[in-house]
Amino acid sequence: MELGWLLWGAGVLLLLHVLMELSPAVNFALRIGFYCLLCVVGSALAAPVCLLVNGGRTVKNMRIIKTVVKTFKYFLGVRFEVKGLENFEMEGPAIIVSNHQSILDMMGLMEVLPDDCVQVGKKELMYAGTVGLIIYLGGVIFINRKSTTSAKMVMAEVAKTMAADNVKVWVYPEGTRNCTGDLLPFKKGAFHLAVQAQVPVIPVVYSSFTTFYNPKKNLFTSGKIKVEVLPAIETKGLTSGDVSDLTDRCFRTMRETLFRLSGCPSEAKDSS
C-alpha cells in the first residue's frame, strides 16, 4: 500500500518535471503557484504566532512576517544584493518609496524592511485568504484606489498620526505592478503624505527582474536582484505647492538608479 503511494508520488513528480522541461507556460505557472503556496502556508503559520506574541493588529507583527518571508528566496533561487541600508538608520518617521514589479516584491520588501514600518496596500488584498489576514495583522494601511477622495482621507489621517506612532510608511508610488524594466509615472499620494507630515522620503530601488522574471514570456528562473536604499530627501519647510517638484526629483533619481542597477547606463543618461 505504502509502496503504491510512493510510486504514484514519484510518477506525479516525474510528470511535472517533464512538463516543466517541455512547456515554459507550465514551468512558469508551477513556479508562481509554488510562490503563492509559500505565501499562503507562510501566512497561515505566521498568523497564530502574531496573535500569540502581539495579540492582534500591530506593526510589531512585521518582524514575525519578515522572518518567515525572508526564507522564501531559498526555495525559489532568488538572491538579493543590498546596498545603502545605513540610510534607514535614522530615528523617527519617514516615507519609503520603491518600484513595484511583481507579487515577488514581497520578498524584496522583507529583505530590507526597517522596524516599525507599515505599507500602503490596495484594500482588495484584505480578502486574499491567509495572506489577507497576515497583511491585516501586520498593520498594512488599506486604501480604495477607485476613490481618490477616500484614499486621500486615509493618507491625511496617516500624516497626522505617523509622528506620534513613530512609524515609517512604505508606499509604491507607481500605484500598481509594472514589470517592463522602467518606471510608471509616480502618483503623488506618497509625496503629499511626506510633506503633510514633514518627514523625509527615502527611495529604495530594485533592479529590473526582466532577465529572470517575465510573465509575458513565461520566464521565471533563479536570479539576483540588486537593491539600493538611497539617501533621504528632506521635506522640512516644503508645502503642497512643492509636491510636484518633490515627486519629479524622486522619480528621476529612482529611474537613474534603476537603469544603473539593471545595467542600462545609456537610458539612465537619457533621463537626466
Ligand X SMILES: CCCCCCCC/C=C\CCCCCCCC(=O)OC[C@@H](O)COP(=O)(O)O
Give the binding-site size for ligand X (rule: CB under 6 A).
15
Task: Give every CB contact of residue 15 below 8 A, 6+ residues apart in sequence.
Answer: none
Identify the residue whose cell numbers are 530590507. 112
Single out the residue of 60, 63, 70, 145 in contact with ligand MYA (rule: CB under 6 A). Answer: 145
Of 43, 61, 98, 214, the residue at the interface with ligand MYA (CB under 6 A) is 43
Using the rule CB under 6 A, give the single segment among 1-9, 99-107, 179-187, 258-266 that binds ligand X.
Answer: 99-107
Specify the residue, 144 or 198, whose C-beta has the smaller distance to ligand X. 144
Distance CA 46, CA 39 (A): 10
The interface mask with ligand MYA, positions 88-107, x = CB under 6 A, is ------------x-----x-
Q: Could you tell which of ligand MYA, ligand X, none binds residue 69, using a CB distance below 5 to 8 A set by kind?
A: ligand MYA
Distance CA 57, CA 119 (A): 13
- 103 is in the binding site of which of ligand X, ligand MYA, none (Cβ under 5 to 8 A by kind)? ligand X
Which of ligand X, ligand MYA, none interacts with 129 (beta carbon under 5 to 8 A by kind)?
A: ligand X
- CA neighbor of 220 nearest in space, from 81, 100, 131, 103: 103
Among ligand MYA, ligand X, none, residue 143 binds (CB under 5-8 Å by kind): ligand MYA
Q: Based on the shown chain and the rule CB under 6 A, indicate whether residue 177 belongs to the binding site for ligand X.
A: yes
98 vs 196 by CB, closer to ligand X: 98
The whole-angstrom separation of Cα 254 and Cα 184 is 11
Residues in touch with ligand MYA (CB under 6 A): 39, 42-43, 65, 69, 100, 106, 119-122, 125, 131, 134-135, 138, 140, 143, 145, 148, 151-152, 155-156, 171-173, 175, 187-190, 192-193
